[in-house]
Amino acid sequence: MSILKIAVVFRYDDYSGVSPTQVEEQIIHVFREQGVSCVFGVIPCVCSGNQFSLTAQPEIPVPLGKIELLKTAIQDGVVEIALHGYTHQTVVRTDLRSPSEFAGDILFQRERLFRGKKFLQDALGISIHLFIPPWNAYDANTLHALGELNFSCLAAGLHSGLSLPDINLLYLPNTCGLTNIKQAISQARAYEQPVVIQVMLHPYEFQESKNKLAVYSLADLQDTLAWLVTQPDVYITSLQALCDSKTPLGADRYEQNLKLHRIHALLHPALRRYCRLPLVYLSQMDAKKIEIKLLMGLLWFYGIVLLSMSGAGFALAFYLPGFVSFMFIPVSLGVLLVLLLRAWRLWPIKYRTLFPLLAVFGFLGGCLIASIV
C-alpha cells in the first residue's frame, strides 16, 4: 500500500526594506542546506512608521542588496516570491475591525496590487502570481482585483476569509507555526485523505531578531527541517509547485475549511479547549465530518441555553407579571436590538455575540409563553 504524502509549505512574511537582513540571510542558508524551499512574502515599499495608523507615511522600497539576495535564492530554487501587500499599512480603522491593507474600493486595491506586482517583476525579472494579504485580511473586491491581474493563488488564513468560485484562484491558508509543526504532522497522519500544512514564519519570531516577541531560533528551524526531510510520508514543496500539481486547492475546499473555523468560533471557550481544530488544511471530506460533530455540539450547547433562559423568563413573567412587563421586557428588547446590530456589524459572528443574543431571545420567548398561558 502506498504511503499518503503530507505536503508542507513554508511561508516567511514581511520581507522588506526594514526587515532584518542578517536573519533572512541565515534563514535562506538553512533552507539551502536542507535542499528545500520557502515562500517569501515581500513588501515592495513598506511604510516607514506605524503600520496601524491611517496617516500617510514615507515608503521604503526593498533595497538593491536585498533584491540581489532574493535573486540568488530564486536561482538556487530556495525561495519563491509572493506579493505581500504594497506598504503593509492599514487602510481601515483598527478600533472598529482588524487591520487590512486591502478593503473597500476595487480601483484602489487594483492599483496597489498592480504597483506591487510591477515593482517585484521589474526588480527580480520574474512573473509574480502568488499573493499573501497583510494580516491575512481581504474582501471580495480583493479577489476580483487578483483575478483581473492574473494572480493564481491566495495564501491567507483560516480564522477569517472568503472565496469566490467564479474567480480562477487557488487558496492555501496557513495552518500552523514552527513551534507546533510536529503536532500538525501527527494530526495529519490521522486523516483518510492527504492534507496540506502551511507553516508561517515572521522576522520577529526569531530570537536572532532581538525582538521581545521571539519564540524560536534559527537552530530550531534547522532542527525542524532536518527532522521533516527524514519523514517518509512528508515532503516540503513550493507553493507554486503545489498549485501546479493535481492537489485540490479550489474555492470549495477553502470554504469548507473556513466553515469549520466559523462554527468553532461559536463554541463556548471551555468547549473550544476540548474541540480543538487540527493544524492542517483538511480535504473537503474530512472537513465535512468534523463539521457534523461541531454542529451537534452547537445544537446541544445552545439548546440548553435557550431552554434555561426560556424557563427563567417564563418563571419571572408568571410570578411577577407586572414587574417583568415594566422592567425586564423593555430592557431585554433594547439589549436584543443592540446585539442584533453588533451581529450585523461583526458578521460572521462569534461566541461573545451569539451567546447573549440567544440568551436574551430565550428569555423573551419564555416571557411571551407565560403571557399566553
Over residues 80-113, the pLDDT tens digits come to 999 999 999 999 876 556 899 999 999 999 999 9
pLDDT score of 357 more than 80? no
- The answer, yes or no, to whether residue 355 has pLDDT greater than 90, is no
Residue 351: domain span:
299-372
216 forms beta bridges with: 206
Determine the pLDDT at residue 337.
61
- Give the residue-averaged pLDDT of 221-243: 95
Helix spans in 96-245 (H):
106-124, 140-148, 181-188, 218-228, 239-244
* DSSP notation for 236-273: E--HHHHHHSS---SHHHHHHHHHHHHHHTTS-HHHHH
Q: Cβ(16)–Cβ(48) under 8 Å? A: no
CA 14, CA 47: separation in Å to the nearest integer?
12
Residues 245 and 308 in one domain: no
Same domain flag for 15 and 130:
yes
Looking at the structure, do residues 181 and 47 belong to the same domain, yes or no? yes
- Model confidence at 366: pLDDT above 80: no
- Would residue 158 count as lying in a domain? yes
> Is there a single domain that holds both residue 207 and residue 85?
yes
Nearest CA among 39, 8, 37 for reference residue 195: 8
Q: Please report the pLDDT score of residue 339 as a whole number.
A: 52
Comparing C-alpha atoms, which of 69, 63, 68, 44 is closest to residue 119? 44
- Residue 287 domain-assigned (yes or no): no
Residue 342 clears pLDDT 60, i.e. is over it: no
Is 363 domain-assigned? yes
**pLDDT top residue among 340 and 239:** 239
Of 232, 201, 247, 206, the closest CA to residue 38 belongs to 201
Quote the mean pLDDT of the chain. Answer: 88
- With cut-offs at 50, 70 and 90, classify the pLDDT of residue 284: very high
Q: Beta 45-47 vs 59-61: how paired, if at all?
A: antiparallel
CA neighbor of 217 nearest in space, from 27, 25, 20, 58: 27
Residue 254 belongs to a domain: no
- Of 249, 278, 307, the last residue of a domain is 249
144 belongs to a structural domain: yes
pLDDT tens digits, 174-197: 999 999 999 999 999 999 888 999
Give the pLDDT confidence score for residue 7 in this predicted structure: 96
Kindly state whether residues 52 and 196 are assigned to the same domain: yes
Residue 277 in any domain: the answer is: no
| Model confidence band, residue 1 (pLDDT cutoffs 50, 70, 90) | very low
pLDDT bracket for residue 326 (50, 70, 90): very low
Judge if 56 and 121 occupy the same domain: yes
205 and 306, same domain (yes or no)? no
pLDDT tens digits for range 63-76? 999 999 999 999 99
Q: Are residue 96 and residue 198 in the same domain, yes or no?
A: yes
48 and 181 assigned to the same domain: yes
Residue that finishes a domain, picked among 185, 216, 249 = 249
The answer to the question of residue 238 being in a domain is yes
Output the CA–CA distances (angstroms, integers) from residue 63 to 46, 113, 117, 204, 250, in the order listed: 11, 20, 16, 20, 35
Position 272 pLDDT exceeds 60 = yes
Do 40 and 181 have their domain in common?
Answer: yes
Task: Centre a 10 Å sphere on the Cβ of residue 175 and count the other Cβ atoms it contains.
Answer: 27
| Contacts by 59-66, CB closer than 8 A, 24 or more apart | 59/87, 60/16, 60/17, 60/18, 61/17, 61/119, 62/15, 62/16, 62/17, 62/119, 62/123, 63/17, 65/21, 66/15, 66/17, 66/21, 66/24
Residues 239 and 81: their CA atoms lie apart, in Å, by 9
Task: Look up the CATH number of the domain holding residue 174.
Answer: 3.20.20.370
Percent of the chain with pLDDT over 70: 88
Q: Per-residue confidence at 2, pLDDT binned at 50, 70, 90?
A: very low
The 10s digit of each residue's pLDDT in 129-176 is: 999 999 999 999 999 999 999 999 999 999 878 999 899 999 999 999
The mean per-residue pLDDT over the stretch 48-59 comes to 90
pLDDT of res. 267: 84
Q: Domain count of the chain?
A: 2
Higher pLDDT, 367 or 27: 27
- For 98-102, 246-250, 301-305, which range has the lowest pLDDT when averaged over its residues? 301-305
- The grid coordinates of residue 370 equal 407565560
**pLDDT at res. 338:** 58
> Do the domain assignments include residue 263?
no
Residues 64 and 194 in one domain: yes
Nine-digit cell string for 294: 461541531
Helix crossing, 140-148 with 106-124: angle to 10°? 40
Q: 199-219, pLDDT tens digit by residue?
A: 999 999 999 999 999 999 999
